[in-house]
């Protein structure tokens, strides 16, 4: 009898991690082994029966990071020997604390690892830690991010490298992060939002879409022109909001008044919009940052109705919407339950 041929994902991840750390200027044998162990632990991470999506930042100077982050808070939890076991203990002890945008940090000291949790800002409008430290980061801040971004998909990001996408499922390989695809679609939602509040509106919607990605719920969305008071006729089969949810207007009110009522209103609509996107059908946004309708259905043309797609009815609806781009629809978004995302937009 022939012996089996073992195939280990660990060796692949380890090899990629070595190159990744070198490019970030953070070479370390212990760190690379720790990252491999963390990646394996982060897949569908649970504590006390609850799904958690902790973001783990490996850093060299937490004091510098705290000084750099706007409105930052942090809480030191503990320290241990400079081993991968301490990195795993940091995840275990800190993951339950990562609600409300708190993230885990593991600081590499000369002789040990120290760890805790931190966050930047307390508002739905705050710039995320990821945007500040990674996407817009500098070489001075040595930092690496590890997190699960959707079902069985782990992302490793640094300032200098392209993200590493590690899939533990059967999804097709992709070099594009679902977060990037989300950001491209959100740009179409805020395209005609006043420039003075466009960034805050974008931050709000990034958190909405990220929540849907974490929940692991398939969803469909599209944008229409906000200059028109009615939705296109092809999108009338659904819940058309008598008063559109005008997120930029609420943000403007919050920034001008800085009162609890406006903040409460924004948080309330965050929950409502997430619920809309979890509903069956299409959520309709405008390019002025509004929500116009949800639970919308469209009739599939016969040519598409007979199409055999892996995503079933949702994929056929996406194809139908794509054919309507430039005919009342500006952009289309589809997210499958495993986190795969496609977008199409009017050029």
Summarised one tens digit per residue, pLDDT across range 133-178 is 998 888 888 999 999 988 788 999 999 988 898 888 655 555 567 8
Per DSSP, the residues of 130-191 read IIIIIIT--TTS-EEEEEEEETTEEEEEESSSPPEEEE-SSPPP-SS-HHHHHHHHHHHHST
Average pLDDT over residues 328-344: 89
Mean pLDDT of 117-139: 85
Domains of the chain: 9-167 (3.40.1700), 178-345 (3.40.1700.10)
Kindly tell me if the per-residue pLDDT of 324 is higher than 70: yes
Which residues, 6+ apart, have CB-to-CB distance to 251 below 8 Å?
125, 197, 200, 201, 204, 266
Tokens coding 221: 């969305």
Judge contact between 62 and 104, C-beta under 8 A: no
pLDDT band at 41 (very low <50, low <70, confident <90, very high): very high
User: pLDDT tens across 62-116, in order?
Assistant: 999 999 888 889 999 999 999 999 999 999 999 999 987 899 999 999 999 999 9
Position 346 pLDDT exceeds 90: no
Confidence of residue 1 (pLDDT cuts 50, 70, 90): low
| Percent of the chain with pLDDT strictly greater than 90 | 61
Residue 241 has pLDDT above 70, yes or no: yes
Q: Taking phi first (over 0 means left), then psi (-120 to 50 degrees means alpha), and beta for anything else, what does residue 44 get?
A: left
Question: What's the confidence (pLDDT) of residue 3?
Answer: 58
User: Dihedral of the CA atoms 304, 336, 14, 85 (nearest 10)?
Assistant: -170
- What Å distances lie between residue 134 and 25, 67, 170, 208, 239, CA to CA? 14, 16, 28, 20, 39
The pLDDT-based confidence of 288 (bands split at 50, 70, 90) is very high
On whether the CB atoms of residues 61 and 105 are closer than 8 A, the answer is: no
Is residue 228 classed as helix, strand or coil in its secondary structure? coil
**Each residue's pLDDT tens digit, 190-205:** 999 999 999 999 999 9
pLDDT reported for residue 22: 93
- Regarding predicted confidence, which is higher, 307 or 345? 345
């Amino acid at each position: 009898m022939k012996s089996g041929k073992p195939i280990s994902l660990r060796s692949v991840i380890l090899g990629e991690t070595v190159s990744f750390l070198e490019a970030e200027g953070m070479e370390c044998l212990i760190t690379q082994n720790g990252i491999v162990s963390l990646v394996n632990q982060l897949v569908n991470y649970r504590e006390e029966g609850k799904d958690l999506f902790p973001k783990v930042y490996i850093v060299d100077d937490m004091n510098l990071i705290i000084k750099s982050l706007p409105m930052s808070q942090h809480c030191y939890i503990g320290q241990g020997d400079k081993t991968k076991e301490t990195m795993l203990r940091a995840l275990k002890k800190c993951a339950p604390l990562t609600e409300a945008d708190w993230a885990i940090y593991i600081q590499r000291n000369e002789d040990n690892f120290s760890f805790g949790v931190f966050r930047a800002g307390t508002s739905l409008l705050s710039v995320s830690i990821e945007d500040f430290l990674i996407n817009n980061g500098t070489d001075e801040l040595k930092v690496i991010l590890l997190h699960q971004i959707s079902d069985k998909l782990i992302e490793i990001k640094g300032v200098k490298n392209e993200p590493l996408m590690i899939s533990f499922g059967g999804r097709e390989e992709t070099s594009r992060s679902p977060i990037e695809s989300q950001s491209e679609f959100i740009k179409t939602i805020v395209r005609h939002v006043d420039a003075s509040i466009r960034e805050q509106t974008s931050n709000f919607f990034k958190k909405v879409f990220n929540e849907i990605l974490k929940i692991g719920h398939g969803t469909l969305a599209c944008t229409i022109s906000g200059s028109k008071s009615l939705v296109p006729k092809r999108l009338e089969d659904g819940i058309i909001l008598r008063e559109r949810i005008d997120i930029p207007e609420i943000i403007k009110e919050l920034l001008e008044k800085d009162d609890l009522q406006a903040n409460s209103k924004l948080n309330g609509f965050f929950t409502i919009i997430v619920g809309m996107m979890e509903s069956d059908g299409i959520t309709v946004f405008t390019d002025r940052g509004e929500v116009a309708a949800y639970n919308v259905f469209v009739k599939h043309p016969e040519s598409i109705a007979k199409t055999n797609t892996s995503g079933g009815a949702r994929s056929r609806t996406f194809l139908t919407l794509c054919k309507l781009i430039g005919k009342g629809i500006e952009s289309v978004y589809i997210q499958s339950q495993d986190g795969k995302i496609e977008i199409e937009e009017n050029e």
